Structure 1
Amino acid sequence: MKNIKAWVVSLRLRTLPLALSTILMGSIVAAWDGAFRAEVLLWAALTTLFLQILSNMANDYGDALSGADNETRVGPQRMIQSGAISLGQMKKAIIVLVALALISGLTLLAKAFDTEYWKLLAFFLLGLAAIAAAIRYTAGKNPYGYRGLGDIYVFLFFGIVGVAGSYFLHTNAWQWEVLLPASTLGLFSTGVLNLNNIRDIESDRKSGKITMVVRMGRNKALWYHAALLADGWLLFLIYAILTSRTMLLWPSLLALPLFIRNIVRSFKTREPSKLDGELRNLSLSILLFVVLNAVVLIF
């Protein structure tokens, strides 16, 4: 029973709503354009969950190998760090998740594109890139998460690829305007990573993990955090105006106070461990923002 609990903890369930938000946003934009497909949403969501869990476990594995997860680390204890799961067991779990992500992803592509083979190939290669990026974040030689490149990864895969990619899977068509809500989700998601790295700044410094926050320092990282969230809202405003969908703003504005509160509390919080609650709150605020956008489809 204890081992089952350890594996459940290693999934990092609280990261999953953020991953699903990107797929939901792309699906909602597709629905606004009259091209929603339920089977695409289902398989895209499942594939995204596998990729997110893969990323979480690879992160646990990589940080354990590098020493980034140590006694000075703030935040939830990692399962390899605690000794509940061995490196060998985690490596096997990573292999299983790669297989599950591939199976789910191939099913998604078959549902979306049928016999359009060039699209199948293009998205298959994109899927392989997503798997590689999930693993290489903190695992392998010279992981990019240790060189301050994690923010770029999150912006691309939680924003551009997640939102614009899922939109294309629904519609089989491309609209440049979709890059605006995609960038909104990318910036919001990068804000979550940034807040996580502000919390972990001291342990990351000691272990040699050079995140953007370590490069900038805490004070600049807080202003960077505010800019990420503010710019995300600005891009969504521009999208609503350009596409004559200003009615989208009214439901989503209900989530705005939560983003403002997150910025204010992040500046006021001096104890790193207390930022953990703000991490959870920001992830849920992003999910609420996305769900509120779906309200327009109902009314």
Structure 2
Amino acid sequence: MNPVQNQDIKVSLNEKEGFQVWWRLLRPHTLTAAFVPVFIGTMLAALDGGFHARLFLAMLMASILIQAATNMFNEYYDYARGLDNENSVGIGGTIVRDGISPKTVLTLALTFFGLAILLGIYISAASSWWIAVIGTVSMLFGYLYTGGPYPIAYTPFGELAAGFFMGTIIIGISYFIQTLSIHGGVIWVSVPVAIFVGAILLANNIRDLEGDKENGRKTIAILLGKQGAIRFLAVLFGIAYLLTLIYIVIGLLPVWSIIALLSVKKAKEAVKGFIGKTLPIEMMPAMKATAQTNTIYGFLLGVSLLLQLYLPL
């Protein structure tokens, strides 16, 4: 691709130069998937009488660093395997369009992992060294998502792995380091969050379905077909909202948590945004709406727990 064509694509994707190159590498729209579970897990702990600001901030930074590093590993290994090119949509584009050295991207990913390890040591020393074990396993899966000989992202289990580690595990750890305990209610509350995190990956795979199929991937979107995958996305949203309502009715979540349902509008926008679209760039708004659904739901759910703490119903 010549420089003029490359510039045309950057303009169509609204990609800017300078600092924006490095900002895109982080894939900032995915970082809320790191913030939301830490926020919710910490608020659940605060309701049960446990809150330490330093541990919260350390856990939040570690989670964001791991998510950012995972995004960089994704960028590096998809490029190394020839899956990304100048026309690829939904990637940072720092290697294929901005000319950043692949080695630089890999070094940054490893550096972010190293910083997360240092934060993990602090968290473990202040709570339990079992956190170090769980954190190490989580980081390993973050690497194996696109790294290693059998990347999880190329299988039907990408959404499940992302939801479990970025939803349930992070909420559980965030709660445990504050209270030094865990109970079933925390795990149940994590399920809708895990679903929304997995939905982000599903939306990504719907957008990239044709390209992934050509490159031999076997994602859920490919196995179900585009229409089936869109229906599955709608079903996942429905299950997450239904569970939220059930939790409120049975008292697992406070009545305040009804505000989390305000995110339904964005979920509908996400599903409708995929219908009738064929080009990846046309599906970008739907992909963005899916990530925003997770952000809005998670933020409002966390706020509802905070409201219950200070304005109990």
**TM superposition score normalised by structure 1:** 0.90
Alpha-carbon offset, residue 91 of structure 1: 2.0
Alpha-carbon offset, residue 191 of structure 1: 0.7
Corresponding residue for 2:57?
A: 42
Percentage of identical aligned residues = 24
Residues 148, 253 of structure 1: CA spacing in aligned structure 2 closer, same or farther, 3 A cutoff? closer
Corresponding residue for 1:188?
A: 196
Corresponding residue for 1:249?
A: 257
Corresponding residue for 1:220?
A: 228
Corresponding residue for 2:94?
A: 79
Code of the residue aligned with 1:248 in structure 2: it is W
By percentage of residues, which structure has more helix?
1
For the 8 Å contact 1:72–1:203, the answer to whether it is kept is no
For the 8 Å contact 1:68–1:209, the answer to whether it is kept is no
* Equivalent in 17, 25, 29 of residue 40 of structure 2: 25
Question: 1-side partners of 2:107 and 2:86: how far apart?
Answer: 25
Residues 176, 208 of structure 1: CA spacing in aligned structure 2 closer, same or farther, 3 A cutoff? same
Question: 2-side partners of 1:30 and 1:268: how far apart?
Answer: 44
For the 8 Å contact 2:42–2:51, the answer to whether it is kept is yes
Question: 1-side partners of 2:103 and 2:254: how far apart?
Answer: 52
Residues 278, 87 of structure 1: CA spacing in aligned structure 2 closer, same or farther, 3 A cutoff? same
Question: 2-side partners of 1:274 and 1:165: how far apart?
Answer: 38
Corresponding residue for 2:248?
A: 240
Pairing 1:244-283 to 2, within 5 Å after superposition:
245-283=253-291
Corresponding residue for 2:8?
A: none
For the 8 Å contact 1:130–1:157, the answer to whether it is kept is yes
Corresponding residue for 2:213?
A: 205
Question: 1-side partners of 2:89 and 2:25: how far apart?
Answer: 16
Question: 2-side partners of 1:89 and 1:153: how far apart?
Answer: 27
Q: What per-residue deviation string (whole Å, max 9, x for no partner) do you get for residues 7-30 of structure 1?
A: 222111121112211111111222
Corresponding residue for 2:181?
A: 173
Residues 188, 92 of structure 1: CA spacing in aligned structure 2 closer, same or farther, 3 A cutoff? same
Code of the residue aligned with 1:40 in structure 2: it is L
Pairing 1:3-18 to 2, within 5 Å after superposition:
4-18=19-33
For the 8 Å contact 1:66–1:207, the answer to whether it is kept is no
Question: 2-side partners of 1:248 and 1:222: how far apart?
Answer: 30
Ranges in structure 2 where 5+ consecutive residues have no aligned partner = 1-15
Ranges in structure 1 where 5+ consecutive residues have no aligned partner = 114-118
The total of aligned residue pairs comes to 292
Question: 2-side partners of 1:65 and 1:245: how far apart?
Answer: 45
Question: 2-side partners of 1:236 and 1:102: how far apart?
Answer: 33
Residues 106, 262 of structure 1: CA spacing in aligned structure 2 closer, same or farther, 3 A cutoff? same
Question: 1-side partners of 2:28 and 2:90: how far apart?
Answer: 14
Mean CA deviation greater in 56-65 or 177-186: 177-186
- Structural RMSD (CA): 2.1
For the 8 Å contact 2:202–2:233, the answer to whether it is kept is yes
Corresponding residue for 1:134?
A: 142
